[in-house]
Amino acid sequence: MAQPKEVLAVDFDGVVADAPAECALVTWLGVRGLDTSVTGAEQLRRVPGDFVERFRHIRNYSRLLDHFMVAHLPTAAAVGSQAEFDALFSGLAPERVREFTHQAGAAREWLRTEEPDFWLDLHTLYPGMADLLRRYSGSVVVITAKDEGAVRAVLARQGLEDTVREVFGECGRKAEALLDVSARWAVPVEHITFIDDNLANVRRAIETGARARWARWGYATPEHRAEAERFAVTALDLSEVAHLAPVAV
């Protein structure tokens, strides 16, 4: 495969695709446990409404699957800042978080493989993202907290599997992943456009020299928007995605 001159690096959930019900379901099952005797649709119906609301609230502060564990804390509904969320998460026992992440990941894998149509139907693409991936086809890398199998399954459903050259799944160190791509693909990091809806990830990516853009259509809070303005982080609106394209060489 020819080496690309430019690279598009994208987060997945909150940038390329959205799956709030799927994420809430696997988060619930990460503690309550998967019931393989009933359908995924029935398990989704069993998730309490107040839990779904708590999950939606803390989703705006989360970077990793591990962080979704906070939704199981009743006090999560009162979180009002990133610092408060981080304090709640840091107060969880590490072994409890590891067990949750393992069970949530296993539930996602079971749903994806045993009930693929139900699971895939819980994912939608943001408008314009399919065309963006096609414009950069062959020079796209997905860097995401979601596991690689899940990402590739969603891409395949949308006919986009061939657009993505590599997937960094379950990745919590995205800046390092950008530098790794730059080195292995022999592309200057300045020629990598990185898009993520998590502001902390974008600010770390900026430090690498990548053209980092904060996706305003994803998961964020007014606090994050104010922080982005304070640090002059370049933001990207969904309407602007149609104008992104690799430079002709």
CATH of the domain at 228: 3.40.50.1000
pLDDT exceeds cutoff 60 at 249 = no
Question: What spatial distance separates the first Cα and last Cα of the chain, rounded to whole Å?
Answer: 17
The stretch 203-208 carries a mean pLDDT of 97
Look up the pTM and report it.
0.94
The stretch 186-191 carries a mean pLDDT of 96
**Owning domain of residue 26:** 20-121
Percent of the chain with pLDDT over 70: 98
Task: Give the Cα separation of 99 and 48 in Å (integer).
Answer: 22
pLDDT exceeds cutoff 80 at 41 = yes
> Would you say 216 and 209 are in contact if contact means Cβ atoms under 8 Å apart?
no
**Single-letter amino acid, residue 173:** R
Q: Are residues 60 and 165 in the same domain?
A: no
Q: Are residues 80 and 128 in the same domain?
A: no
Closest CA to 143 of 123, 172, 163, 120: 172
Q: Are residues 100 and 148 in the same domain?
A: no
Q: Is residue 179 part of a domain?
A: yes
Task: Supply the Cα-derived Rg of the chain in whole angstroms.
Answer: 18
* Total domains present in the chain: 2
User: In the listed set 121, 156, 191, which residue is the last one of a domain according to the structure?
Assistant: 121
The mean predicted confidence, pLDDT, of the chain is: 96
Q: Is residue 1 part of a domain?
A: no
Q: Are residues 133 and 182 in the same domain?
A: yes
